[in-house]
Homo-oligomer: A and B are copies of this chain.
Amino acid sequence: MPTYAVCRDLAIIILSAKAFGLLARRLHAPQVVGEILAGLVIGPCVLGWVAQSDFLSGVAEIGVILLMFCTGLDTDLSELKKTGGAALLIACAGVFVPLLLGTVLFCVYYGVAPGSSQFLHAVYIGTIMTATSVSITVEALREMGHLRGRVGTTIVSAAIIDDVIGIIVLTVVIGFKDPSVRPLTVLLRTVLFLLFAAAIWTIGARLFSYLDTVFEHTRRMTILSLGFCLIMAYLSEKLFGVADITGAYLAGIILCNIRDSGRIAKKMDINSYLIFGPVFFASIGLKTDLSALDVNILLFSLAFVAVALLSKVIGCGLAARCCRFRSCDSLKIGVGMMTRGEVALIVAQKGLSAGLLSSAYFTSVILLILVSSIATPLLLGAIYARWPDLDVPAEPAPAPAPAEPTA
């Protein structure tokens, strides 16, 4: 592919994402739904105009990292501390309820008895259902101006904790099959990550507060912050096996109280909405290839998608209700935790190489990612329209320049 071809791909993606996004908004749906659909339409499923490439997946990766970094920068730290306990409970319920119901689904559908040789495969189907991917929910909440509220903060922190617990579950399950994977090592790495996060929080927050007094309002402050975010994202995944977006979110939280944080978030947001964001959301559609779909797989996939979505709503929703959220807010949290993303595909990939999953189930996972990515923003929009937040007075989306319409 000649280098100038990247212009073509990028032009098609940003223009179609914007067009579909505006169309979605006209139909009273969040723009992010339109951007995902744009990727589906221009990708291999329909028109085949744009194919995945190393360039596009790199840009998409930076896109989701910028998104989570902005989310961290926008965090209301006192709100985060208040919701921390609830988020932990919600994350646990959001991992174990899907794990249980997914296992039950496979056992019932294929008549597998607990303890038989096929049982571990059933557990693996449940494992795939555990990992929430919060980026779509974040974007939908941001568009509606609900990201900083109590519900928004709870969803984001629960999804981050969910990621850490999900990794432990995954490793334990694979450890039953593959003796070279040691659950203890993974537990140790997770503990080390928590220590690392605490250390960086203490040092990083002080260092950047100092830098802020010296370099406030300079380009180098923005560049240093972005560099910090990228290094945190890289180290989280490289050293501790935690998703890179968790590291980026952590970097954002560490910087959320420095004086320049609003300005930095605005610069990141301009990068994000012009190029990186649309490429990330469209790439979800671009990656989707449903050509392997047949009736058998379709039937199981439908059941798989339904169980995966409902188990999160039930698990997280009930846990939120136990933490004294209103019923409607519990519903928002349950629905917000429904989205799945690349992590589910990565888990499926690992199951394939460990011999715990047949490649036929990839279609189910892709369908789950697609359906949850489109359904979540739509449902959240409808629920928020019916039951507005109590604690957040109709707040504008925080990141973009206040004077500028967001479309």
Contacts and interface: CB of A to CB of B under 8 A. Distances in A.
Nearest to A6: B58
Interface in A255-310: 267, 270-271, 273-275
Contacts of A22: 220
Contacts of A275: 62, 226, 271
B54 A220 contact: no
Question: Helix, strand, loop or mixed for chain A's interface?
Answer: helix
Contact of A271 (B3, B65, B270): B270
A238 to B, nearest CB: 7
Contacts of A65: 7
Interface string A223-240: 110110011011001100
A404 B222 CA distance: 12
A74 interface: no
Given A54-B55, A405-B218, A407-B218, A4 B61 contact: yes
Interface in A145-196: none
A145 to B, nearest CB: 16
Given A218-B407, A223-B18, A7 B244 contact: yes
Given A18-B220, A219-B404, A224-B15, A230 B55 contact: no
A61 B233 contact: no
Given A219-B404, A405-B217, A226 B14 contact: yes
Contacts of A8: 230-231, 234, 238
A3 B58 contact: yes
Contacts of A274: 222-223, 226, 267, 271
Interface in A1-38: 2-8, 10-11, 14-15, 18, 22
A10 B405 contact: no
A219 B19 CA distance: 12
A94 to B, nearest CB: 24
A59 interface: yes
Interface of A: 2-8, 10-11, 14-15, 18, 22, 53-55, 57-59, 61-62, 65, 217-220, 222-224, 226-227, 230-231, 233-234, 237-238, 244, 267, 270-271, 273-275, 400, 403-407
19 contacts: A7-B61, A7-B234, A8-B230, A11-B231, A15-B224, A15-B227, A18-B223, A55-B57, A55-B59, A58-B58, A58-B59, A59-B59, A217-B403, A219-B405, A219-B406, A223-B274, A267-B274, A270-B270, A271-B275
Given A14-B227, A218-B405, 13 more contacts: A3-B57, A4-B238, A6-B61, A7-B62, A7-B233, A8-B238, A10-B230, A18-B223, A22-B220, A55-B57, A58-B58, A59-B59, A271-B271
